[in-house]
Structure formats: structure tokens, C-alpha cells
């Protein structure tokens, strides 16, 4: 049975601690709420932005970008870090076009590179290294993405992965679906490999932050 891992009172409190967003970001948040589109939301978005600022990220690659909400947080960080590139990758042309509209309005269009493709394939074809890689693809694809990510991320770079509590499904032994198995397996891979320093932060649906040694 799926549930919200973070009680709504605490999640709302965490979201309210995030500084006010630009009107276009607020519109993107409202659209997600109206249509049930799974964006990372304000608290996780702000964490992504904070980490990108902390490491001075100039080259960011996103896998599974949707209509550009998480991209906007990374673009803000990269712009404030002095400029660079953020790769928006999704396999839907419609979402890619929608993202272009939002990111143009936000003034980030010159930083963002758009690719319509399966995201792991696009990363394999991209010129690394990247300072930060964000993974939000279908959960069954998480484990197979790790070797490609490890190759393209610079030492000292950070991998962020969303939905690592997977709405509580990981705690149900009877749930052996491909997506749930993917979340469990990628967690095991990153927390047992001495090449990574990994924390699962229980924000919204769980965010893994992994530092590549
Ligand atoms: C969870 S949503 C993205 C939300 C976005 N990261 C945000 O927070 O604004 C994931 C999107 O990536 C797409 N997607 C899933 N797996 C993918 C893959 N392997 N390659 C490319 N796109 C993928 C989905 O169809 C969906 O539109």
C-alpha cells in the first residue's frame, strides 16, 4: 500500500521554509498539483539547488526531466555559479517543448541543452565529466544507470536520485514489482560501494545524495 513517507504537516513545513519562487516556478508547481505530475517539489528542489551551489556545479546532467521544474532549480544554481550547462533529457517531445517555454520565461534558455531521448542512452553519448547528475527516470531503470553515471561524474561530483522511499512500497516484502526492486537495488548498490558516500534524506519521497570519491 503506497503512502506519503513524510507526514503532510512536516512536508508542508519544509516546503514553507523554501524562499518564495518566481511566478513562473509557482505556475509550474500549481500545474503539478492540478495534474498530479510528479515534480520534485519545493523542498527537494531547493536541496538540489543548494547542493549545486555548494559544489560550484557548472555542468549538470538530468535524467528524466519532465517539463523542466527540477531543471529550473539546477539552472538557477549554475547561473549563480558563473554559468555553464544543464542537460534536460526526457523521451517525450511534448514535455521537452513545454520545458523550453518555461525555462525561456525564467531566463535560463541559454544554459539549458534539450535532448529528446531515453536518458541513460543520452548520458552514455554525452561528453563528460559532469559535476552533478540528477536521476529521476522510471525506477526500474535506476540500477542499470549507475555504471554510466559513475563513468560520467567527476571525482568529487554528486549524484542525486529522487523517490528513494518510493511512497513506502520498498517496505512491503510482497511488492516485487520492477520499479520497487529497482529502488531497493540502487539503494543497496550505492550504500555498499566504498566508492560513494551516500545519504538518504527523508524529504518528500526520499532523496539520495551520493558523493563520488
Ligand atoms: C518524475 S518525472 C520528472 C520530474 C522532473 N525531474 C521534475 O522534478 O520536474 C520523470 C519524467 O521522465 C520521463 N522518463 C522516465 N524514464 C525515462 C527514461 N528512461 N528516459 C527518458 N525519460 C524518462 C517520464 O516519462 C517523466 O516525464
pLDDT tens figures, 127-176 = 999 999 999 999 999 999 999 999 999 999 999 999 999 999 999 999 99
State the DSSP code for 126: S
What lies within 8 Å, CB to CB, of 170 at 6+ separation is 180, 183, 184, 187
Q: How far is the CA of 118 from the centre of ligand 1 (A)?
A: 9
Residue 200 has which C-alpha cell? 538518504
Between CA 97 and CA 110 the distance in angstroms is: 15
What pLDDT does 59 receive?
Answer: 98
Residue 139 has which C-alpha cell? 525506477
Helix (H), strand (E) at residue 209: strand 207-212
Cβ atoms within 10 Å of 83's Cβ, excluding its own: 10
Q: How far is the CA of 47 from the centre of ligand 1 (A)?
A: 19
Q: Of ligand 1's atoms, which has the minimum distance to the CA of residue 68? A: 9
Q: What is the pLDDT tens value at each position of the chain, 213 positions in all?
A: 788 999 999 999 999 999 999 999 999 999 999 999 999 999 999 999 999 999 999 999 999 999 999 999 999 999 999 999 999 999 999 999 999 999 999 999 899 999 999 999 999 999 999 999 999 999 999 999 999 999 999 999 999 999 999 999 999 999 999 999 999 999 999 999 999 999 999 999 999 999 999
Between CA 199 and CA 21 the distance in angstroms is: 27
Cβ atoms within 10 Å of 153's Cβ, excluding its own: 24
Q: How far is the CA of 142 from the centre of ligand 1 (A)?
A: 12
What pLDDT does 1 receive?
Answer: 76
Residue 16 has which C-alpha cell? 514553507
CA dihedral 103→42→134→100, nearest 10 degrees, is -10
Q: How far is the CA of 65 from the centre of ligand 1 (A)?
A: 5
> Is the CB of residue 64 below 6 angstroms from any atom belonging to ligand 1?
yes
- DSSP one-letter string for 136-163: -S-GGGHHHHHHHHHHHEEEEEEEEEE-
Residue 55 has which C-alpha cell? 559544489
What pLDDT does 53 receive?
Answer: 98
3-state secondary structure of 82: coil
Q: Of ligand 1's atoms, which has the minimum distance to the CA of residue 141? A: 19
> Is the CB of residue 41 below 6 angstroms from any atom belonging to ligand 1?
no
Q: Which of 66, 117, 118, 205 to mutate to test the pocket of ligand 1 (most atoms within 8 A of CB)?
A: 66
What lies within 8 Å, CB to CB, of 131 at 6+ separation is 52, 55, 56, 57, 58, 59, 60, 153, 154, 157, 158
> Is the CB of residue 118 below 6 angstroms from any atom belonging to ligand 1?
yes
Q: What angle do CA 107, 34, 169 make, to 5 degrees?
A: 105
Between CA 46 and CA 73 the distance in angstroms is: 7
**Which stretches of 11-152 are assigned E, i.e. beta strand?**
59-63, 85-90, 112-116, 130-135
Amino acid at each position: 500500500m503506497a503512502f506519503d513517507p513524510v507526514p503532510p504537516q512536516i512536508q508542508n513545513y519544509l516546503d514553507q521554509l523554501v524562499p518564495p519562487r518566481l511566478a513562473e516556478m509557482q505556475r509550474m508547481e500549481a500545474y503539478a498539483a492540478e495534474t498530479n505530475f510528479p515534480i520534485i517539489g519545493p523542498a527537494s528542489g531547493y536541496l538540489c539547488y543548494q547542493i549545486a551551489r555548494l559544489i560550484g556545479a557548472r555542468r549538470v546532467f538530468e535524467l528524466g526531466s519532465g517539463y523542466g521544474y527540477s531543471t529550473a532549480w539546477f539552472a538557477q544554481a549554475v547561473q549563480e555559479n558563473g554559468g555553464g550547462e544543464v542537460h534536460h533529457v526526457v523521451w517525450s517531445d511534448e514535455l521537452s517543448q513545454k520545458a523550453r517555454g518555461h525555462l525561456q520565461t525564467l531566463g535560463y534558455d541559454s544554459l539549458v541543452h534539450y535532448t529528446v531521448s531515453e536518458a541513460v542512452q543520452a548520458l552514455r553519448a554525452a561528453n563528460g565529466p559532469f559535476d552533478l547528475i540528477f536521476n529521476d527516470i522510471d525506477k526500474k531503470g535506476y540500477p542499470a544507470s549507475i555504471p554510466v553515471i559513475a563513468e560520467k561524474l567527476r571525482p568529487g561530483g554528486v549524484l542525486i536520485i529522487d523517490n528513494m522511499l518510493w511512497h513506502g512500497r520498498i517496505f512491503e516484502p510482497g511488492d516485487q514489482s520492477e520499479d520497487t526492486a529497482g529502488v531497493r537495488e540502487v539503494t543497496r548498490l550505492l550504500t555498499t560501494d566504498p566508492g560513494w558516500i551516500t545519504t538518504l534524506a527523508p524529504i518528500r519521497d526520499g532523496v539520495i545524495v551520493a558523493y563520488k570519491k
